[in-house]
Structure 1
């Protein structure tokens, strides 16, 4: 690791003003037979918890030989409440949990969790990263969400909770009963973190320049196709697209397709073996 990258990982400000410790929920499934594959750490987006990956993707990844873990960011899922959490707090959560898994991890972030992962990559030397339907922030993201869901989006600007609808999150293929069950489990992010999603600085370059895969759906009602392309270009690639799916690819009716694509990509890339 170059000295400049080492200095970016350890910073005086973070020693002087450390993040408050928080009880974090981490769910995990490991393969029955250890195959030496890198562990995956899934990071859910705002309002979601580790449960969103425990529904399907953790078991499926483990069945293909990948140890799989999912983190609930502070204030989400089964983690401790944290109404004043910031993007820095969430980044700290990811780095701390990634450092605790047995081997160098692959970070997989969904939605706003992809922005958290992008920030964490500047602090943690990940084996690789995957950004799923990434909400990387900025007013363009807000404008798109406002057009599609004004009632659920506008309150977030004034400190209220961001409310995502069934139409934004899922395709019509997902049965209504399942969609309602998932929507009922959604929580809310810290108001400061929501605001920082719009106004915060761009992530710094990743330590070690790990390979990064960006994937999503052109029919996503949260992230536009143009936003997916911009996110992929940041990492010198093109997005992998799954037409007909909603924003929550890990919960939608065809959830197997994106996770299999992720695992196939990891299995083929020699840097992730």
Structure 2
């Protein structure tokens, strides 16, 4: 029993959920994509939602409170974000696969302790380790340091995308990126490790060795926590779902899910 959940429940919030469904039901588990801080459901709606649906997976993307088209929430916490994920996942037609990107991967890890997911995918996971923080400070001190005093964390184009992405697209995406709640940003650095996952679902870690936000060593550590090795895509930026070669990681994720959960 979690006494705090009863004594101080998370405030309800209006949440944006975008979806793409396959033309023919194939019995595959639904996917719930959880974007990282500053990103909304739109980041997955650009490419990955439709692509997953085209391969037979019902696909949904959530904007955490304060992000995208969800209700503003400047004082949101990691606990509130976790509540958003578990509530949306519980409302899907079948037991879902949780896919978290960036800091959304940390939210997914917390949600796994409350929701019995079929499986989980951590894409370019920002899990609050100090190695990742050191990389961010070294490569983008002007955008990282303000987060320590409550201002918004700002990631540069070089951190988010590869050089292959045309400047016009990079600017369009960057213009849509907002900020997480200041408390949630601080908790990203000071949070406790998530509780054990319910049911011990399989977990896949994907990322790029050329990610300028998450260093390769952090990807390896994240994968080892779940008894595996990271699946790497050289030459890509942090925002795998928006970069030029976006098909490669999502196809690899779906291939892995097909092996774990063949069609009913």
What's the CA shift string for 1:10-43, capped at 9, x where partnerless? x221011100000000000110000000000000
Gaps of 5+ in 1: 1-6
Matches within 5 A, 1:78-89: 78-89=69-80
* Shift, 1:139, TM fit: 2.5
What's the TM-score, normalizing by structure 1?
0.95
2:67 is aligned to 76
Helix, strand or coil for the counterpart of 1:267? helix
Work out whether residues 27 and 263 of structure 2, in 8 Å CA contact, stay in contact via their aligned partners in 1. Answer: no
Instruction: Check if 1:148 corresponds to 2:139.
Output: yes
Instruction: Check if 1:220 corresponds to 2:211.
Output: yes
Helix, strand or coil for the counterpart of 2:194? coil
CA 1:226–1:272 in structure 2 vs 1: closer, same or farther (change >3 Å)?
Answer: farther
Distance 1:15 1:163 in 2: 35
Distance 1:238 1:138 in 2: 18
Instruction: Check if 1:18 corresponds to 2:31.
Output: no
Helix, strand or coil for the counterpart of 1:26? strand
Helix, strand or coil for the counterpart of 2:218? helix
2:120 is aligned to 129
* Shift, 1:198, TM fit: 0.3
2:155 is aligned to 164
1:250 is aligned to 241
Distance 1:192 1:203 in 2: 17
Helix, strand or coil for the counterpart of 1:206? coil
Instruction: Check if 1:42 corresponds to 2:38.
Output: no
Aligned mate of 2:101, from 87, 110, 113: 110
What's the CA shift string for 1:21-75, capped at 9, x where partnerless? 0000000011000000000000000000000000000000000000000000000
State how many pairs are aligned.
Answer: 264
* Shift, 1:144, TM fit: 1.1
Work out whether residues 152 and 179 of structure 2, in 8 Å CA contact, stay in contact via their aligned partners in 1. Answer: yes
Helix, strand or coil for the counterpart of 1:143? helix
Work out whether residues 127 and 271 of structure 1, in 8 Å CA contact, stay in contact via their aligned partners in 2. Answer: no
RMSD between aligned alpha carbons?
Answer: 1.0
Gaps of 5+ in 2: none
Work out whether residues 128 and 272 of structure 1, in 8 Å CA contact, stay in contact via their aligned partners in 2. Answer: no
* Shift, 1:141, TM fit: 1.9
* Shift, 1:272, TM fit: 8.4
What's the TM-score, normalizing by structure 2?
0.98
* Shift, 1:271, TM fit: 7.8
Distance 1:156 1:269 in 2: 39
Aligned mate of 1:32, from 20, 23, 48: 23
Instruction: Check if 1:178 corresponds to 2:165.
Output: no
- Report runs of 4+ in structure 1 exceeding 3 Å deviation: 270-273
CA 1:162–1:244 in structure 2 vs 1: closer, same or farther (change >3 Å)?
Answer: same
